[in-house]
Chain A
Amino acid sequence: MNFKQILTDLFTYTPQEEYNFELLRNTVNDTELENEYLKKENQDTSIYTSLSVNLEYVKSKYNSMINSDIIVREFTLIARGKQYSAFLLYIDGMIDTDIMNRFILEPLMLRNKSNLYGNDQNRIISEAVTNNITVRKVKKFNLADYIMNCLMPQNTVKQCSEFSEVFNDVNSGNCALFIDTLNVAFDIEVKGFEKRSIEKPENEIVIKGAHEAFVENIRTNTSLIRRSVHNENLIIENIKIGEITKTSCALCYIKTLANSDLVSEVRYRLNNLKIDSMLSSGQLEQMIIDNNLISIPQTISTERPDKTASYLLDGRVILLVNGAPYALIVPAVYTDFLSTPDDKNMRTSFSNFVKWIRILATFLSLLLPGLYVAIASFHQELLPTDLLYSILASRETVPFPVIFEILLLEISFELIREAGIRVPSPIGPTIGIVGALIIGQSAVSAGIVSPVLIIIVAITGIASFAVPDYSFSFHLRLYRFAFIFLGYCCGFLGIGLGLLAYIAVLCDTKSFGIPLTSGISPLQKTVGHSYFLQPIWLREFRASYLDAKKEEKQEKISMKWKYPFLKKEDTK
């Protein structure tokens, strides 16, 4: 070892080799090229008559060299004794191979009776002879019609002349048939991908109602709705959203009930979304609601078909997104967030009782911690003296002020909640119990928090679970913190004024043109259901704020069996 070597080793700096990946920003040239490419992509191209050109185009579009599951099956088609080259384009894994083999390839490739007819390509319809001149009316042989009408015993076949149409459906799981000399392609329904079967709803459990829930596939969902509504006036429009994904979105409404302006407005909003992708109903919800600043939900999100059907029959509009098992119901009103499908299944007295428990839960979830902080900070005279003494005694060992304590507990509760969602299922429920009870108890014993506060936070947490709508309960959880701060700041003055501002903003929010507080704020006679659900024989009218085409839901005397002696005039 050289002395010089040692010195250089000690004092020279050799940079470490680090792996550094950076996304380079687009330069001007790049963006120009991109725009050109996009323009080319968006041009609608018609199908060519030459098979080889079609094949090249399709292969380049789908990058079949790289894409492993794009299959092109070339074969020879026999029609009327003549042979044509053809190919089938499909995506492996999305089709039902059995259907394709038996109902497409077999009849087209193999000889069968209808294919034996040959030569006469034209069919004579009528003949007239005058003055030795024969005039024949001839029907020209149309290969496309012939194949579609006679050769392919498959239920859904469509003729397409644009590539974009074809690709759209191939991406959904159909297969496309291209035939030489034809400038149309056949779009054949052969979907057979694996999907989840209809299961129980996970997040909206009821005691007496149906136990079916929506799945990811939009066709299954629409079938569930169709079965419930059972009427030909149910319209399910298909709208494609997203430039890249072209996600199918279904707009459902009952033509004879839903207000046409409402339907047009929903359609207008859906058609005017310039986004690349739409992957879930939550995303759709955020893109179409009126006011995104305030976190209050303005649509109802449900995974139950029975709830969806009942809202459809009220005159509302339903939105389904392919790939999400949630339906969006518009418009929504504040009182809808407090009702469950069970309300209409149970007797009115039970459902009203439970409804008022939920209203109490809403109030507690939003205001209880704030009220506690306000009372403890400014208004102790409200508490009965004995309760005050127990609170004082329990707070003796606690080193923190009330506000810090309550924030600590609330945030820990939120942490436990969030962690509980992601914990693997065997220990999931245990964590909830462990977290809530034992950690809380240990915190009290250690003197970090007072037991009264544990009770308050526990009641608040339970109340927030009692609220039926998930987004609504989340909204309450968020605003609870605002009220805690207000209570700490100025006591009842802060809470009162905060409540006033909250109510004012609530009254101003609209959901598709209908104020959110429609049922409760100006108390009207014909209301859907606001604070109280009416008995079933009194629910004669649909909600007036929806302005449905047909106001009356049932006749004045709906139970005709009870009053057989009444004449027709008395019932009106």
Chain B
Amino acid sequence: MKHLLKVVCFVIIFVILTVSFSNSYTRVNLDNIAVVVAMGIDKGENNKLKVCFQFTNPSSISESGSSETASTILKSVDASSISSAINSMNSYLGKELTLAHCKLVVFSEELAKEGISDIIYTLMNDAQTRPSCNIVISKCTAEHYINNSKPFLEPLISKYYELFISSNQFTGYTSNATLGKFFDNMICQSCDPYAILGGINLQLPDSSQDALTNKETSDKSNSASLSGNTVSENVGLAVFREGALVGELNAIETLAFMCIGNEVKGFLISVPNPQVENQNVDVYLTPKANTKIDVSLVNGSPYITVDCKYCGQIYSMTNDSNYLDSEILSRISESCNRYLEYIFTEYLYKTAKEYKSDINAIGKNSLKLFSTIDEYETYGWREHYQDSFFDVSAQVNVRSSSLLSDS
């Protein structure tokens, strides 16, 4: 009898637990979710937001794994906030939306200029959001951007979103700006957030473009010189100050940002050839050590020294290059040094004076100078950053060329 009672007890407990957790089960269960891959937020009418969600249709992924591009679905709603947008979308779809696999959040430039800190706070408050989700500021509307973001090397759009930024470690033309990092920088008093700058290139395939000699210096999204069938491009950085967009950086400035922030593993620069005028030498640089940033206070203003070291390898060859001569190599190194110092200094002064935004988080290096937090807060890094003086020194050691050394 006792045994029977025990069995009955177990059954009752099981039933109670199932019933009490059934609400959560219904909401987050696999059969009931619609997986959002990307989210775009635009400015709508009447101070509302226009939120669009991109889904992938799972049934287009067949068993044998097709190599065709999986179809994506884009839906948008008008709402006063993110949460109400998600709510409306739930009612349209009939399935529960989940942001757990959302890899990309796109804000339009218009909206970003007004400030997106509230939206970021709301997103980070949600337990489902991934901190590693990329954040993009698009020059066109977010919906347009997402609609035209079609991968041409991967079948699945989610895979494309995971990988599209991975080349940045080897080019330095854009950064892996994530939502978590954005949030962190936004709430920190000694740094400012940044985001990837994205856009849609509307050039038609048969229109020609003039070849620019220093084409990479002015590359930004929406004005890149890439031709062909590619549509979306992500080059450059969007600079924020306390949650509002204040400016943009082009490819070279982004490269400078990445170098100072130790995020780049290698990059290619085109420096003037010291031997031949009007000719450029392409050198591939890899960092030798982490960039050293030292901050000291001179008359209340920050005096910042930036010290970076790189090794170089020459990639371009002509029919009369001779890279076995150490003097030539050292002259090329000096040319690289000058070039790097120039671009770093330009970038630093631009962000400090024009944008008044410390996206490299140099303010963290200044914490050593203060002994208590009160002192730091009284000083107010943000206000003093625009008065800073930068001293950049770059040391490049060009080692050799690639396979050929003398032609």
Contact = CB atoms under 8 A, between A and B. Distances in A.
Q: Do chains A and B touch in the complex (CB under 8 A)?
A: yes
Interface of A: 376-378, 380-381, 385-386, 388-396, 401-402, 451, 485, 488-491, 494
A377 B158 contact: no
Interface string B1-44: 00000000000001001100100110011110101010000000
Nearest to B6: A293
A393 B158 CA distance: 15
A382 to B, nearest CB: 9
A396 B21 contact: no
Contacts of B30: 376-377, 380, 391-392, 395, 402
Q: Interface size for chain B: under 10, 10 to 19, 20 to 34, or 35 or more residues?
A: 20 to 34
B47 interface: no
Given A393-B58, A402-B31, A378 B24 contact: yes
B61 interface: yes
Contact of A377 (B17, B25, B56): B25
8 contacts: A376-B29, A378-B29, A381-B128, A385-B35, A385-B101, A394-B63, A489-B17, A490-B21
A393 B18 contact: no
A381 B126 CA distance: 13
A389 B14 contact: no
B100 interface: yes
B35 A392 contact: yes
Contacts of B17: 489-490, 494
B18 A401 contact: no
A389 B35 contact: yes
A232 B96 CA distance: 75
Contact of B31 (A390, A395, A490): A395
B59 interface: yes
Contacts of A381: 100-101, 128, 130
B28 A378 contact: yes
Nearest to B162: A385
B29 A389 contact: no
Contacts of B60: 393
B278 to A, nearest CB: 49
Chain A interface, DSSP helix/strand/loop, else mixed: helix
Nearest to B65: A390
Top 4 closest pairs, chain A to chain B, by CB: A381-B100, A392-B58, A393-B58, A376-B30
B156 interface: yes
A491 B29 CA distance: 10
A491 to B, nearest CB: 8
Given A385-B101, A490-B21, A390 B29 contact: no
Contacts of A396: 58-59
A452 to B, nearest CB: 11
A381 B130 CA distance: 9
A402 B33 CA distance: 14
Contacts of A488: 18, 25
A389 B18 contact: no
B41 to A, nearest CB: 21
A487 to B, nearest CB: 11
A380 B28 CA distance: 8
A380 B33 CA distance: 10
B28 A393 contact: no
Nearest to B101: A385
Nearest to B128: A381
Given A380-B33, A395-B30, A488-B18, A389 B58 contact: yes
Nearest to B15: A489
Contacts of A402: 29-31
Given A392-B35, A489-B14, A490-B17, A386 B159 contact: yes
B98 interface: yes
Contacts of B103: 385
Interface string B152-182: 0000101100100000000000000000000
A402 B29 CA distance: 9
Interface string B85-118: 0000000000000101101000000000000000
B207 interface: no
Given A380-B28, A402-B30, 8 more contacts: A377-B28, A389-B58, A392-B35, A396-B59, A451-B63, A488-B25, A490-B17, A491-B21
